[in-house]
Structure 1
Amino acid sequence: MADGQYRAKLQDIRANAARLYKAAPEPMKAFQSLVSVATKDGVLSVRHKELIALAIAIATRCEGCIVHHVDAARRHGAAREEVAETIAVAVEMGGGPATVYGAAALAAFDEFASIAT
């Protein structure tokens, strides 16, 4: 993707989610409650939970999920090396297609990291 496209994709994801929240508030509030409980600090840190979610997103080939969880993992302190290891686990579980999505995840991390600095 060209420079800035992952940031633009993240903005689109957020805008689309906001529209869905308005269209179906009750189920979206329930989903948000689940997300809040599942991703809060516990035995596993939020950073680790976001890396797990990223691996699942790569293995299931959910591009929007990848962008969201790369950004969240980075915001919660994940290093590029942690993202790279997470991608390796996802590729182990997801095979060749996960390699393509994993490469996109690393590119998204690099883009978000360059914006933050």
Structure 2
Amino acid sequence: MTATYKDNATSIDKRVGALFKAAPSVMTPYSQLVKAASADSVLDSKTKELMAFSISIAIRCEDCIVFHLRAALNHGASQDEVIEAISVAIEMGGGPSVVYGGRALKALEDLA
């Protein structure tokens, strides 16, 4: 059986949890940074997660794509908003982002 992006999301959670146990002095402040950066402010959390999702595609980080897509969906992002975020990533990342944008679209199918 081929692993799905939903399976990958679970695996990411386990790996991050292991990092928290192995390196709490690094991961605790990092977690605080993430919470501060992603909190509702001038931009809402959904918008920030869609931005992080787009950046993840442009920098070709597949686990980051899954992580931030799931977060964006949890914050209420629609399929149309996710597809528009993929389009922005392609604008900024060119051809490689087309490939990773396709992976992101498959992840959307698995996670939605």
- Normalising to structure 2: TM-score of the pair? 0.95
Q: Which residue of 1 aligns with 2:87?
A: 88
Contact 1:54 1:65 in 2 (8 A): yes
Find the aligned partners of 1:10 and 1:38 in 2 and give their Cα distance.
Answer: 21
Q: Which residue of 1 aligns with 2:38?
A: 39
Q: Which residue of 1 aligns with 2:13?
A: 14
Letter in 2 for 1:88: S
Q: Which residue of 2 aligns with 1:24?
A: 23
- Normalising to structure 1: TM-score of the pair? 0.92
Identity of aligned residues (%): 46
1:61 aligns with 2:75: no
Q: Which stretches of structure 1, 4 residues or longer, exceed 3 Å deviation after superposition?
A: none
1:105 aligns with 2:92: no
Q: CA deviation at 1:94?
A: 0.4
Letter in 2 for 1:92: E
Number of equivalenced pairs:
112
Q: CA-to-partner distance for each residue in 1:47-86, whole Å, 9 max, x for gaps?
A: 0000000010000000000000111101111011111111
Find the aligned partners of 1:25 and 1:53 in 2 and give their Cα distance.
Answer: 24
Find the aligned partners of 1:83 and 1:28 in 2 and give their Cα distance.
Answer: 28
Letter in 1 for 2:4: Q
Q: CA-to-partner distance for each residue in 1:7-46, whole Å, 9 max, x for gaps?
A: 1101111101111110100110010000000000011110
Letter in 2 for 1:19: A
Q: CA deviation at 1:107?
A: 1.4
Find the aligned partners of 1:3 and 1:84 in 2 and give their Cα distance.
Answer: 24
Structure 1, unaligned runs of 5 or more: none
Q: CA deviation at 1:105?
A: 1.0
